[in-house]
Structure 1
Amino acid sequence: MKFKQAYSRDEPPGGGASLQELISPDNEVRFIDAFVDSLPLEKLGFRTDFPENGRPAYHPSILLKLLVYGYLNRIRSSRCLERECGRNLEVMWLLGQLAPDHNTIANFRKNNSKAITRVFRATVKMAQHFDLIGGELLAGDSTKLRAQNSKKNNYNRGKIARHLTYIEERLSDLQQALAQTNQVEPLLDAMARHALRREHYLRLLRYLEDSGEDQVSTSDAESRQLIIRNTITEVAYNVQATVDARHCLLLDYRVTNHNDRLAMGGMLRRAKSIVRNHSFTALFDKGYYAGSELETAQGLGITALVAVPAPASNAPDPAYNVEHFAYDHTSDTYTCPEGHTLTTNGHVYTKHLSRAHPTSFHQYRTKACKTCAVRHHCTTARNGKLIERNTYTPVFEQNRRNIAAQPDLYKRRQAIVEHPFGTLKRQWGYSYVLTKQGMERASADVGLMLMAYNLRRIFNIVGLERLLAYYAASLSVLWTLKAMFGACWRGYSQRIKIPSSSAIYLQITIFNQETGRGF
């Protein structure tokens, strides 16, 4: 039986073909090259000026191309990317056979968090150019990405107290043993070790008291132990993201280390500036159900549909839950399903659910509860039914009306917002943050993940041919301007560098204004 014969190891790969010939015209690496070359890197915040002495630096476009390629192909480790530079023909073509070392790659990523965020925004602008962003229906949610910090190295006051109690008990036992034996040296060594551990925990406790924080992580200081699901917790970062419904493209993200409750307002403000309107509908789950955030949404003119959590205290019969009590704004009273009127004594009470957002409320009662025949269906409280109406109750009621007006719309939330999270965490394996030492570095890693997701979606929907034509047209416009205006272009081109096509026309306008020319 005949077999295919291997080439000799002395022959160059591809039968002596160049890298340009080896990389096929429809290879997506050409899209990465065109995308990064189109970015105004200096304006985005990447450093392009380096001192002449010492080894020449790598241009930021080289390192950004490598990271974009890596994240698109599920390669995040700087050491793995370093190896790819010497064995991967696509990377050799993309970088012009340059091979940055792993420290250079890692330092570039950790030092350019804000610039990477701006590159992510460039993917959103590209999607808008191809009409991939509807801007009519958005969904917001968060996902927890595990930090480089174990639960063992995360402490709260209770955990520290248990460690200190254990150490005191061990020291007491060692003191008693010391009085009963002549072999004191091992015991003194053990006591010294426990004393050092006690001092470590006391330093952590002082930090919590001075900072006002609830917990501290010793490996990645800004990571926090967060609830992942039900009672399952993990030391992680919480990534807030907003997704457009048309093609499940990400519009915005922010890396945090706290829960969702007070995040919706900021997400909607940024979404409004991105889609340039406030007439869209936003879908959020019950983790975002907070009066201050719903008030912000309604103040922005945005229709927000936020899932309503189950009441903290249900009536024995659900027909007598608070939502079935009718409120009259004119008389400031509630009417129960049995027709009794609940009134307030006018006193304002305050709850401090959080230090930043204390809540004021009135209480409503009725004496009819004492003789009501169906009281056992309505409440088990000794003093009868009590309703609390706080300053945010009107916005809660408006949210309920929004959901009632579009009962099927909220069901689309998971299909929209879980699409990128499922792709990133389950399909690509990006379930943890690779970087350490702070939220800013974590944001760089997350930004590259989400940028890769958007680029993959855009590439799959639009296609390589249209994308390359788009970048070629952008280059053509600028080179035409350069040919037409000659020397005037030099000063201008130092400040402008080929962004999206919508920005091209803006640049042309600015150039015309600066030179006094027109078409």
Structure 2
Amino acid sequence: MPRFKTVHRGLKLLPIDFDKQLLPGTFEHALSYLVDHELDLSDFHARYRNSVEGAPAYDPAVLLKIVLLAYSRGIISSRKIAAACRDHVLFMAISGDSQPHFTTLAHFVSAMGELAAKLFAQVLTVCDRQGLIGREMFAIDGVKLPSNASKAKSGTRADFLRQAEKMEKAAQAMIERQRQCDRQPEDDDLRAARKLERLQANARQLRSWLSENPDDRKGAKGRVNLSNRTDNDSAKMATSKGVVQGYTGVATVDEQAQIIVDAQAHGTGSEQALLTPVVAATAAWRTPTTCYTADAGYHSRKALEQLEAAGIAAFIPDNGYRKRDSRYAGQALHTEKPDPLWDKSAKPRTSRRYSPADFHFDPIQQTCTCPAGKQLYGNGSNCLIKGQPAIKFKGALRDCLSCLQRKQCLRTPEKTAARQVTFCLPKAAPDNALTRMRRRIDSPQGREMITRRFATVEPVFGNLRHNKRLDRFSLRGRERVDGQWKLYCVTHNIEKLARCGT
């Protein structure tokens, strides 16, 4: 029988050199070097006032290393991060065997605020110094993620007023019933008292929220948006997984090494309103030859006109570009179990009557032939239907009255003598920003830029969502969520530095 050496498992006391655990070329080595030698953390130090009095605090450099290393491993919970500092050798090495409490870590992340933007800018400067930013193409995309907010507590001020009044009426009715029952308290009375206390507390919270927020949230076009009583900066957003209460994380990625040059989090699901602030935020990094690419969600007349006025090259397709591109002709074959709420494909007709599609219309000769092979005559050319030019055709009585297909052609063949059909003529396309962008997208260069956009920005979100397991934001408030999103993007950029930098 062969013999093998003993394999040790479980607890064992070993002398460990923490410096030798951070191997060159790894993420933790690059993170440690950046925090110790490149990043300026003086703004973090300015927050501490314990030089004379108070207990010593954890170094913000140590806390930053711990948080970013945890985000790179897909750990977002402060309790799990604190447990990793006690059990994981790599966390011990990068933090110098510091074991901060989970409340310390949670407060450090939530109180970071605008300092996350400064950290992001400093890491981006190091990436630029390493030559990882090409400035040839910036690809923009976003992801909608739920946040630490209750979807059930969304509504308008009118909805909240009705809820408060309903709770107050229910509480008043319970008080009246208790006044009518003059007896010793029993178990049922104790339960009723607790229920009354909860109703009154919820009603007070609603009234307090209404007094602190006197106005409804307004959308881009002045319409009322839903408010949220747990996080009023978040919004209800429709995703492929259903409706979530959260934020949209937008990232602008450079094509050369997939470095994120800008990261923002917004409490809106409308991507059209996010293109302008993203372009403005990346103004310091682009050159006169830099072009922007984005998906169809960022396509709008106002944004395209602003880009043209600023002389910025962009390739932003409209919603119908896939129908005009032969490369997407067979994409419907790969659709698996479409959701009926989101499937926008054409539904099969249940009616057996002939539709205008069954008639042969020649737009050049302006003639029309019915399914029975009979020629229809024009009945009102040069007419307008909802502002669009159209031409009408009507069948001859001698053909329609004796036709054997009247039941398939007419809705009421016993009352209607002849079939009429209308065809809309194509309008002359106006020369505006939308049509010019459509021609640019349909060109060979435009199709190439769409492909390059996929290859640039989609792997970045795959890294953040799958590898880093970013499936939700754990904070409340736009400033805090924006800081957490920037920290994740900083983690991605440091990974690129570790792999591509010198």
TM-score (norm 1): 0.66
Partner of 1:266: 277
Q: Structure 2 CA distance, aligned partners of 1:27 and 1:193?
A: 53
Q: Structure 1 CA distance, aligned partners of 2:263 and 2:434?
A: 26
Map residues 82-481 of structure 1 onto 2, 5 A cutoff.
82-156=82-156, 160=160, 163=163, 189=193, 194=199, 197-198=202-203, 200-201=205-206, 204=209, 209-213=214-218, 214-229=225-240, 232-258=242-268, 259-275=270-286, 277-309=287-319, 369=390, 376-378=422-424, 394-405=432-443, 406-408=445-447, 409-436=449-476, 438-462=477-501, 466=502
Task: Verify the 8 A CA contact 1:364 1:386 in the aligned structure 2.
Answer: no
Which structure ranks higher in relative contact order (CA pairs < 8 Å, sequence separation ≥ 6)? 2
After superposition, what is the alpha-carbon deviation per residue over 1:379-408, rounded to whole angstroms, capped at 9, x for unaligned? 8xxxxx99998xxx7221221232133341
Alpha-carbon offset, residue 268 of structure 1 = 1.4
Partner of 1:5: 6
After superposition, what is the alpha-carbon deviation per residue over 1:392-432, rounded to whole angstroms, capped at 9, x for unaligned? x7221221232133341223333322222122112321111
Q: Structure 2 CA distance, aligned partners of 1:192 and 1:184?
A: 19
Task: Verify the 8 A CA contact 1:303 1:402 in the aligned structure 2.
Answer: no
Task: Verify the 8 A CA contact 1:204 1:216 in the aligned structure 2.
Answer: no
Alpha-carbon offset, residue 452 of structure 1 = 0.9
Q: Structure 1 CA distance, aligned partners of 2:381 and 2:293?
A: 35
Alpha-carbon offset, residue 181 of structure 1 = 8.7
SS in 2 for 1:38: helix
Q: Structure 1 CA distance, aligned partners of 2:142 and 2:19?
A: 42
Q: Structure 2 CA distance, aligned partners of 1:421 and 1:159?
A: 37
After superposition, what is the alpha-carbon deviation per residue over 1:437-482, rounded to whole angstroms, capped at 9, x for unaligned? x1111122211111111212332334xxx3xxxxxxxxxxxxxxxx
RMSD: 4.3
SS in 1 for 2:114: helix
Q: Structure 2 CA distance, aligned partners of 1:303 and 1:136?
A: 11
SS in 2 for 1:377: strand
Q: Structure 1 CA distance, aligned partners of 2:200 and 2:18?
A: 63
Bigger radius of gyration among the two: 2
Between stretches 235-244 and 32-41, larger displacement belongs to 32-41
Alpha-carbon offset, residue 237 of structure 1 = 1.1
After superposition, what is the alpha-carbon deviation per residue over 1:345-364, rounded to whole angstroms, capped at 9, x for unaligned? xxxxxxxxxxxxxxxxxx99
Q: 1:70 to 1:197 in 2, by over 3 A?
A: closer
Task: Verify the 8 A CA contact 1:117 1:447 in the aligned structure 2.
Answer: yes
Q: 1:176 to 1:72 in 2, by over 3 A?
A: closer
SS in 2 for 1:273: coil
Alpha-carbon offset, residue 292 of structure 1 = 2.0
Between stretches 166-175 and 205-214, larger displacement belongs to 166-175
Q: List gaps (5 residues or longer) in structure 2.
A: 219-224, 322-343, 347-355, 362-379, 395-419
SS in 2 for 1:113: coil
Task: Verify the 8 A CA contact 1:48 1:60 in the aligned structure 2.
Answer: no
Give the fraction of aligned pairs with identical amino acids, expressed as a percent: 19
Alpha-carbon offset, residue 148 of structure 1 = 0.9
After superposition, what is the alpha-carbon deviation per residue over 1:80-129, rounded to whole angstroms, capped at 9, x for unaligned? 22233333332333223333322222222222232222222233223323
Task: Verify the 8 A CA contact 2:44 2:60 in the aligned structure 1.
Answer: no
Partner of 2:336: none
Partner of 1:30: 29
Task: Verify the 8 A CA contact 1:224 1:235 in the aligned structure 2.
Answer: yes
Letter in 1 for 2:37: S
Q: 1:196 to 1:364 in 2, by over 3 A?
A: same
Q: Structure 2 CA distance, aligned partners of 1:142 and 1:375?
A: 45
Partner of 1:499: none
Q: Structure 2 CA distance, aligned partners of 1:75 and 1:268?
A: 31
Select the structure that is richer in helix: 1
Letter in 2 for 1:210: D
Q: Structure 2 CA distance, aligned partners of 1:146 and 1:233?
A: 9
Task: Verify the 8 A CA contact 1:272 1:278 in the aligned structure 2.
Answer: no
Letter in 1 for 2:102: H
After superposition, what is the alpha-carbon deviation per residue over 1:151-200, rounded to whole angstroms, capped at 9, x for unaligned? 22333357547746865896899799899999898598567765654555
Letter in 2 for 1:152: A
Q: 1:206 to 1:54 in 2, by over 3 A?
A: closer
Q: 1:365 to 1:28 in 2, by over 3 A?
A: closer
